[in-house]
Chain A
Amino acid sequence: MRQDLTVQQMSEDDDRSPPLDLRCGAAPSINRARNCSGEAVSGSGSSTSSSIPASVPVTVTEYQSQYPDQVLEIVLENVLQFLTSRRDRNAASLVCKSWWRAEALTRSELFIGNCYAVSPDRARGRFRRVRSVVLKGKPRFADFNLMPPDWGAHFGPWVCVLANAYPWLEKVYLKRMSITDDDLALLAESFSGFKELTLVCCEGFGTCGLAFIASKCRQLRVLDLIETEVTDDEVDWISLFPEGETCLESLIFDCVDCAINFEALEKLVARSPFLRKLRLNRHVSIRQLYRLMVRAPQLTHLGTGKYGPSEVAQRQGDTEPDYIAAFAACKSLVCLSGFREITPDYLSAIYPVCANLTSLNFSYATITADQLKPVICNCHKLQIFWALDSICDEGLQAVAATCKELRELRVFPMNAQEDVEGPVSEVGLQAISEGCRKLQSILYFCQRMTNAAVIAMSSNCLELEVFRLCIMGRHRPDHATGEPMDEGFGAIVRNCRKLTRLAVSGLLTDRAFGYIGKYGKLIRTLSVAFAGDSDMGLKYVLEGCPKLQKLEIRDSPFGDAALRSGLHHYYNMRFLWMSSCRLTRQGCQEIAQAMPRLVVEVIRSDDEEETDNYVETLYMYRSLEGPRHDAPKFVTILR
């Protein structure tokens, strides 16, 4: 039956008229080669309506001695199979109608960066044979309570369409989507070959939903829940995985803050010979961890639960398992994380694996520099390091001394407040810049910083692609000179030629934005908070950064004039977010009227009428669908 479906699709492909192009202007139907000529011109599909024989699927390598167009189309489809990058595929699809169709038939990974930019039906209409879907919903600032709940980004409408359109769907990756248990139930029931589910920063469901996935997805290889909120429905989902050997390769549930049936988990791990990645939640004790490690020495990625002895065990004076031996037995371990509620003494257990580690995440562990040093001094291969600022500048110096291969560093604040003494500063940043010359990505929270350190990083770390500095005190200047942080960020954009993502903070004048506009030619994502003096700041950026796709701004004095200066560029962007700025409703209205393919949302917090002249939050994004129909009351879509 499935085979017939494919055939039906194919004859439809030939007969249908070319659908609307996804760009605003029609793609040029260029008659590049003779094989395209028959197809590109007419929309009626009359010329090559000779159908492909029913028994031949589109991607077959043998060909019939038919019209040369047919043969070459099949060849094209076979070649396009090898194009995996979506940007390459987008480019290929614009060559001519024939290429457009071939590409649409062979694209198996569907990436939708904004779930409201295109409707599920439209996506289904163009791409017929999709195996993997990536969907992203809410804008990032929603993570910080800047958006009221129930704004949208519902997975429901998507899963319904996917269930009908892609019976062979294998992978779903969702980020910042709102998902219900019923959505997960439908997903679990609809795709017999479903293999991978990854949910990042999602919410709306509970262990109920997980139960459906565990019990019905028999081919499941990956179940990764990352920074996702999962309600405790008191369902023992772990015991619902099928009996017998599983295909599980990755099980990540550290964010699922519910008690776990450990016996069931242990049995699951024991019957999952392909398991490589396991990240536990804090309800798994260290003794239980030991038992799991003994069962699964083949693990490559391990996230511990509670990393310290329970009080009960201590009181009873039980002999402790040999944790060091357990770690030593995991010869393939390259990534360690977890370490919740840590007892630092127990860190010595991981010494055997340090030399092989490429990724170490201590961002839940309140350890000091002295506790870090004996660990980090062995981590010569480390490429990714996440930690709390409890390690202080001294800890960062230790990292800089050893981790010469470091690519990514994230330092999170233990105390996420302003106006407190911070344990890390420009000293740590300077040390890292001198020691870790291959650094590509940094996220650094601190209370004070200097331009000098930032400039040093800009000249030492030329591979930087992501630079996110968060000076937590708003409008903080360089604490040594009292000057704005303009020169530091200016140096970053000027010297780091590969920079694609930038987040700024501290006291910044329009000058900083001038630098960004002048030098930040590759920047795709820019985050701005409490910065700038006037409209000019935003203008510099909108006029100067041709690759800008995602711009999120809060509490900065940019107004309508600045907004207008981006009219030439908004269709190239995924979204613009501006909250607590100086935009008026009329200003936003103008944009909405000037750009029909832009959805301009004005978001109030709660049901209160706008008392102010200024719009609280503007969130606008390009879309083929016009205003969405699921907007809640506190969202007004301007037309």
Chain B
Amino acid sequence: MEALGLNMGFEETELRLGLPGNRVLSEGEGARKRGFSETVDLKLNLSSKDTSEKVKSFQKEKNPLPRATDPPAKPPAKTQVVGWPPVRSFRKNMLGVVQKSSGEESDMAGGNNAAFVKVSMDGAPYLRKVDLRMYNTYQDLYHALGKMFSSFTIGNCGSQGMKDFMNESKLMDLLNGSDYVPTYEDKDGDWMLVGDVPWGMFVESCKRLRIVKGTEAIGLAPRAMEKCKNRR
């Protein structure tokens, strides 16, 4: 199919989450411009991309004929229309057997382009959230974090990207200081020092941020350097 050509055949290798048949638009639906939108949404609501797919597929049937008899059970992808029946999603969800635990992804449903992550700081009573896509560099991020937790200073960590991490002694100096150091949890579940990867890669892999005292982050240094070397 033409779609495969455009998508470079990623669909087969794409990791999908959730139960099979769960809102994933079936493969047989024909060529589509955006293959990635078929990834099951982690958020409670349908993403707008998902919505557009379904609304478009419905708009094609502009004059559906009245049905005199109940048709036999069809695969969900064909008969389900966005927002119909008009039952709010929280009502639909709460009847499910498995409720999402509070630890799981329920990050604020921003637009498709938002990447909200929780930010906690040791000693601060409240968590905050930041949208990583609002920033273009690590400096911007530190600036914003600094404003949010203004009574603490955040050490200048890795502003030159990977270079600093390769310099072991420089890194150790930083971590031995009393400044706060931002760390983050990446997709693999590892806690890393912020700044060890190029900004774009960081935004993609960061799941949450934690600002810790320099001394506490020392344990992360070797791992950070390991990962840096491996990525090279």
CB distance from A577 to the nearest CB of B (A): 12
Stretch at the interface among A2-10, A104-112, A252-260, A425-433: A252-260
Contacting pair B85 A416 (CB below 8 A): yes
Question: Nearest chain-A residue to B88 (Cβ)?
Answer: A143
Contacting pair A474 B110 (CB below 8 A): no
B176 within 8 A of A: no
Contacting pair A475 B71 (CB below 8 A): no
Q: For A145, A201, A632, which residue has the most chain B Cβ atoms within 10 angstroms?
A: A145
- Which residues of A sit under 8 angstroms from B92, Cβ to Cβ? 416
Contacting pair A557 B63 (CB below 8 A): yes
- Which residues of A sit under 8 angstroms from B108, Cβ to Cβ? 204, 206, 231
Query: How far apart sit A555 and B64, CA to CA, in the bound complex (Å)?
Result: 10
Contacting pair A482 B68 (CB below 8 A): yes
- Which residues of A sit under 8 angstroms from B125, Cβ to Cβ? 211, 235
**Residue-wise interface mask of B (58-96) relative to A, using a CB-CB cutoff of 8 A (1 in contact, 0 not):** 110011111110110110100111111111111110110
Contacting pair A227 B90 (CB below 8 A): yes
A141 within 8 A of B: yes
Tier of interface size on chain B: 35 or more
Given A233-B118, A235-B126, A475-B67; A148-B51 close (CB under 8 Å): yes
Q: For B58, B71, B95, which residue has the most chain A Cβ atoms within 10 angstroms?
A: B95
Contacting pair A529 B102 (CB below 8 A): no
- Which residues of B sit under 8 angstroms from A201, Cβ to Cβ? 88
Given A149-B48, A229-B44; A475-B85 close (CB under 8 Å): no
Set B55, B63, B71, B126: member contacting A580, Cβ < 8 A: B55
Contacting pair B45 A257 (CB below 8 A): no
Given A206-B129, A235-B126, A507-B66; A364-B94 close (CB under 8 Å): yes
Given A181-B129, A233-B118, A234-B118; A605-B84 close (CB under 8 Å): no
Contacting pair A580 B58 (CB below 8 A): yes
Q: For B82, B125, B126, B129, which residue has the most chain A Cβ atoms within 10 angstroms?
A: B126
Contacting pair B85 A235 (CB below 8 A): no
Contacting pair B66 A419 (CB below 8 A): no
**Residue-wise interface mask of B (19-60) relative to A, using a CB-CB cutoff of 8 A (1 in contact, 0 not):** 000000000000000000000000011101101100100110
CB distance from B115 to the nearest CB of A (A): 14
CB distance from B118 to the nearest CB of A (A): 6
Set B51, B110, B118: member contacting A605, Cβ < 8 A: B51
Query: How far apart sit A555 and B83, CA to CA, in the bound complex (Å)?
Result: 11
B11 within 8 A of A: no
Contacting pair B85 A418 (CB below 8 A): yes
Q: For A150, A606, A612, which residue has the most chain B Cβ atoms within 10 angstroms?
A: A606
Set A258, A366, A419: member contacting B102, Cβ < 8 A: A258
Contacting pair B71 A419 (CB below 8 A): yes
Query: How far apart sit A606 and B82, CA to CA, in the bound complex (Å)?
Result: 15
Contacting pair A473 B68 (CB below 8 A): no
Q: For B63, B76, B87, which residue has the most chain A Cβ atoms within 10 angstroms?
A: B87
Question: Nearest chain-B residue to A234 (Cβ)?
Answer: B127
- Which residues of A sit under 8 angstroms from B144, Cβ to Cβ? none
Given A144-B88, A149-B109, A475-B64; A233-B44 close (CB under 8 Å): no
- Which residues of B sit under 8 angstroms from A557, Cβ to Cβ? 62-63
Contacting pair A257 B110 (CB below 8 A): no
A476 within 8 A of B: yes
- Which residues of A sit under 8 angstroms from B68, Cβ to Cβ? 477, 482
Contacting pair A145 B45 (CB below 8 A): yes
Query: How far apart sit A363 and B87, CA to CA, in the bound complex (Å)?
Result: 12
Question: Nearest chain-B residue to A341 (Cβ)?
Answer: B99
**Residue-wise interface mask of A (201-228) relative to B, using a CB-CB cutoff of 8 A (1 in contact, 0 not):** 1011010100100000000000000010
B136 within 8 A of A: no
A residues neighboring B (CB under 8 Å): 141, 143-146, 148-150, 181, 201, 203-204, 206, 208, 211, 227, 229, 231-235, 255, 257-259, 282-283, 340, 363-364, 366, 412-414, 416-420, 445, 470, 472-477, 482, 507, 529-530, 554-555, 557, 580, 605-606, 608, 612, 614, 616, 632, 634
29 CB-based A-B contacts, threshold 8 Å: A144-B83, A145-B46, A148-B51, A148-B111, A149-B110, A206-B127, A231-B108, A232-B103, A233-B127, A233-B128, A234-B127, A235-B126, A259-B102, A283-B102, A363-B91, A366-B95, A413-B87, A418-B85, A420-B73, A470-B85, A474-B64, A475-B64, A475-B67, A477-B68, A529-B86, A554-B83, A605-B51, A605-B55, A606-B51
B residues neighboring A (CB under 8 Å): 44-46, 48-49, 51-52, 55, 58-59, 62-68, 70-71, 73-74, 76, 79-92, 94-95, 99-100, 102-103, 106-112, 118, 120, 125-129
Further contacts, 15 of them, CB under 8 A, given A181-B129, A258-B102, A473-B67: A144-B87, A145-B51, A150-B111, A201-B88, A204-B108, A233-B118, A233-B129, A234-B118, A259-B102, A417-B80, A419-B74, A482-B68, A606-B49, A616-B55, A634-B48
